[in-house]
Structure 1
């Protein structure tokens, strides 16, 4: 009887293992299924069959509801948040001036996370140390675990993932964020009620640093989005927004530190705007920083924050002699797309002049997609560009930056974003 029982247990274990292995193979085949022969430089389009991840009608409805939170007037009202974060970072950098190399990436991480939290929920987390380090760690882990789950491994099985150490850590981090944002929503609702703030343009777009994404969502969508939906939108904005800004800033500073001629031109532009002063950066100042914006855009061409996006084909599309059928999900490799030589001559060379107005006009409109394109483009594009421009103005007016790494030692790592794998090691020298 004992033998029969043991044999049964062994057989069940073998069946479970075989089932899991077969599932792994099927998942992998689905993942790598592609149309390899589609003509085009370096095979930019790799295809696989999949179902759309979210109902389109639901997505369009929610996109319409959250768009006012990213209105240009709302973004302009965040300039004080950008300035506060920039000045705090500059204070921390003082200890490194004219000293040995140091890793700037943790400082940029703190800046990006603090700014996005300030803009989204009106909280300066670096003044609330009891939350700050835990939330930042949770955000990093959630990004890494989300990327791991997107790969065809055993973690794609919900039941196995939930039972694993990664799954328990993922849920613990989600619970932490949910509790924090539930509290933020309750506090914001109470504040709006006490101050009798209503859903009017003057109230929503008033020049106040409390004019945050959470407030806009609550005012615009009362009764249309549940607290849970609002919480999830704000949570996604923070977790995804800080990661993409961090990646972009890191690569931009790395490239500036390697190209002193470009850095000098940026500094000269800053001098023409500020005339040697260290005054706060205003929205009007940012509008004048045309060359710095070219630098940021060129850095995003070489190192797009999100190197791959997926889009579902809605109707048959002909590419050369091939037809891509409706229903296929297209994996667009933006990293390689930005290295298309007929759109960007000498594509591996860092050249901000690629974004002179006349060169932009001469290119295909979809040759440059750092924020994707179409209805599902990145809703935070203007926010992150303004945020990065503000911080870089502060850094480059005061310091000359020297990158001590090479492209190879930067070791780009693919996670949710394309970020440096070994940090951002630099030396900074205070300008005379």
Structure 2
């Protein structure tokens, strides 16, 4: 027995030496970071719940200034949250490839725009860029405004009671992305499926966080055998079924015209015929563009599915997250809310007409409020890239093969970049106050070649929803910013509901 024990200890010592005394480890361990534990390295440090994992990032950021490292076995990463280092990583195509963390999204998003790299990414980005040109976004706008009005009707039914805004905002953004970029309106059956879709996304992102926190689950053959892996498969089937139906409905609408039976059908048939005859640049939905590209041999059916899954997730969940936190902040900051309402009164006066794109462009203070909300609560709190070559960050030589995690949430709360960083101050984003700010100090939509392709659509959507809400309701706080707690996730997920009241305004 003693011999077996000694042999076991010897093997552990040998493995420890292999893991932590190779040239890669020696280079990386020079970077400040949590203490390496025998054999396990830092792997036990992150074996936490999602909420504890988010809190841990706060603690490490307060201990290590600008950069720290994580190392376990042969897995090495640096975490950065200063603009000079971030500029090096995100501004260049050299660091174009996403880190290993994103492979956990592969069963879901495959090789969609978020995960692909190299020539495939460039090809897909080229196809999709025209779908987010401002002239095309104007065609999306009627769908956005229609859904903003539906949002108002749903809030009217709350009768000034305290409500959880998370399900309401997520329903709004899901309907909006379906009707604008996907060109498909959700009927009653699809709306019911949409609820399952939203729950499935929540569950899948939770399984991804669990996998990230446990290095053993990084191995596919291990993860697939666990209850977490089986749970992920179950919910991915729900997600895939929903997006497949979105594609199917749009194909049916634009590719297979049917005989018209009434005036409504005549209008629909005419729209289909106009679509088939129109120039590609005039297509009204991103999904139309993909279907057209498929007919031209530029993308296949699997590629369409990848991009629809990617844009449905990013267009629904991140925008809903941004909307939630902006509503909370405006409810709690009465002075800012009053300024937005005064701006809206200056644009609309006594007229209760619907907003136009030109009206949105005049909402400059509201835009500052949105930007400040995205600073304090960026919907995507961190991104991650692979370092393909030896790179100097914060004066440390980071060896090739390291993963680089960019903590946007902590970057945005750096006192050196934003004075009184925890204070909600929309005036930070007035043109005069933005002069001299580091170009990589503010990254709610990332930056560089891999910036968010849908950021203009997201801003229009947020302006449309918020202006409609504030023209009709006074926001009364219930949940305060200090009440908010977060869990590590793909988006800045609140732990628990977010409550507030909507009191009907009277047109003067």
Query: Could you state the TM-score of these two structures normalised by the residue count of structure 1?
Result: 0.84
Q: What secondary structure sits across from 1:309 in the alignment?
A: strand
1:303, distance to aligned residue in structure 2 (A) = 0.9
2:355 to 281, 284, 287: 281
Matched, 1:369 2:446: no
- CA separation of 1:34/1:89 partners in 2, compared to 1, >3 Å: closer, same or farther? farther
- CA distance in 2 between partners of 1:220 and 1:377 (Å): 23
- CA separation of 1:382/1:35 partners in 2, compared to 1, >3 Å: closer, same or farther? farther
- CA distance in 2 between partners of 1:259 and 1:172 (Å): 42
| Unaligned 5+ runs, structure 1 | 1-14
1:149, distance to aligned residue in structure 2 (A) = 2.8
- CA distance in 1 between partners of 2:251 and 2:469 (Å): 37
| Alignment deviations for residues 103-151 of structure 1 (CA, whole Å, 9 cap, x no partner) | 1221111111111122232222253344222222223222322333333
Q: What secondary structure sits across from 1:78 in the alignment?
A: helix
Q: Is the 8 A contact 1:301 1:370 kept in 2?
A: yes
Q: Is the 8 A contact 1:44 1:332 kept in 2?
A: no
- CA distance in 2 between partners of 1:309 and 1:94 (Å): 38
Matched, 1:345 2:419: yes
- CA separation of 1:196/1:92 partners in 2, compared to 1, >3 Å: closer, same or farther? closer
The aligned counterpart of 2:140 is 78
- CA separation of 1:187/1:406 partners in 2, compared to 1, >3 Å: closer, same or farther? closer
1:191, distance to aligned residue in structure 2 (A) = 4.1
2:230 to 163, 168, 175: 168
The aligned counterpart of 1:115 is 176
1:93, distance to aligned residue in structure 2 (A) = 0.9
- CA separation of 1:89/1:186 partners in 2, compared to 1, >3 Å: closer, same or farther? closer
The aligned counterpart of 2:483 is 409
Alignment of 1:24-423 (within 5 A): 36-37=31-32, 43-47=65-69, 49=76, 52-53=98-99, 54-99=116-161, 101-125=162-186, 127-128=188-189, 129-194=191-256, 195=272, 202-205=279-282, 211-221=284-294, 222-313=296-387, 315-319=389-393, 321-423=395-497
1:196, distance to aligned residue in structure 2 (A) = 5.4
Q: What secondary structure sits across from 2:324 in the alignment?
A: helix
Q: Is the 8 A contact 1:114 1:126 kept in 2?
A: no
- CA distance in 2 between partners of 1:187 and 1:91 (Å): 26
Q: What secondary structure sits across from 2:449 in the alignment?
A: helix
- CA distance in 1 between partners of 2:474 and 2:158 (Å): 12
| Alignment deviations for residues 195-244 of structure 1 (CA, whole Å, 9 cap, x no partner) | 456798745425xxxx2211111224531211111111111111122111
| Unaligned 5+ runs, structure 2 | 1-7, 34-60, 71-75, 78-96, 100-115, 257-271
- CA distance in 1 between partners of 2:239 and 2:249 (Å): 15
The aligned counterpart of 1:10 is none
1:314, distance to aligned residue in structure 2 (A) = 5.2
**Bigger CA drift: 318-327 or 412-421?**
318-327
1:159, distance to aligned residue in structure 2 (A) = 2.4
| Alignment deviations for residues 337-388 of structure 1 (CA, whole Å, 9 cap, x no partner) | 1122232111111100110112222201111011111111111111111101
Q: CA RMSD in A?
A: 3.2
Query: Could you state the TM-score of these two structures normalised by the residue count of structure 2?
Result: 0.72
- CA separation of 1:163/1:316 partners in 2, compared to 1, >3 Å: closer, same or farther? closer
